[in-house]
Amino acid sequence: MDEVRRLRLEKGWSQNELAYHAKLAPSVISLIETGKRDPNATTLRKLASALEVRIPDLFEESGSGKAQRRSSLQASFNDAIEDLRRTTDRFEGYHAIQKAVDEYRELWEKRLADGDFDKDALDEAGLALKAFWPAVTAAADAELVEGAQWGVQPEEAAAHSVLLPAIARFQALCERVNNTYREKYAPGAAVYAFPQREAS
């Protein structure tokens, strides 16, 4: 992308300096500037931030090559927009999962408080949870991976996670349910009525 090179030179930076400010590998900058690699949405965001411009500014070209490059640049920009749309859809999905987990937790907290359950109800809930719990923890793992793809450090991604707090709240409930299950129906049982698994 000629405009990335022009903006870099305007700042008086080498490719290594741009790479440092954008938190990208120098080889990525070289490949982009020589047209051997189209940047994805994450890379575009990092470049725009480092160069202190808007993402569309990275696509403005001057000179005779503008018409020849427009379709390629438009395709890259469209890919970036599509990537952002998919990310937004996934983020909304994380919120939907969080809401479902919290609603189920609240239901069982009420049932525990009211004593509105028996061994069959606990066993049935345990089986249902074993079926969907791996999907919940897999979504939490995907959420953290998503953060890493956007350049967010693991600790920061965990601190801003939508799913990890809901999982922690649910795991606290699970411990109470399991203790109740063992006290009432299976003293010393090693098998849990509710799943015990931490999201990585």
Cβ-proximal residues to 84 (8 Å cutoff; 6+ apart), any chain: 41
CATH of domain 2-62: 1.10.260.40
The predicted pLDDT at position 67 comes to 42
DSSP string, 71-116: HHHHHHHHHHHHHHHHHHHHHHHHHHHHHHHHHHHHHHHHHHHHT-
Q: Judge whether residue 70 has pLDDT over 60.
A: no
What is the pLDDT at residue 78?
63
Residues 6+ apart with CB under 8 A from 115: none
Secondary structure (3-state) at 193: coil
Whole-number average pLDDT of the chain: 78
pLDDT of residue 174: 83
Residue 20: which pLDDT band, with cuts at 50, 70 and 90? Answer: very high
What is the Cα–Cα distance from 1 to 39, expressed in whole angstroms?
9
User: CA-CA distance, 122 to 96, in Å (whole number)?
Assistant: 25
Domain map (residue ranges) of the chain = 2-62, 89-184
pLDDT confidence bin for 65, thresholds 50/70/90: very low
> What pTM did the predictor assign?
0.54
pLDDT digit string, tens, across residues 87-140: 677 778 888 888 988 998 898 889 888 888 788 887 788 777 777 788 888 888
Tens of pLDDT along 170-197?
888 888 888 888 888 777 665 556 665 5
What residues contact residue 161 under an 8 Å CB cut-off, 6+ apart? 140, 143, 144, 147
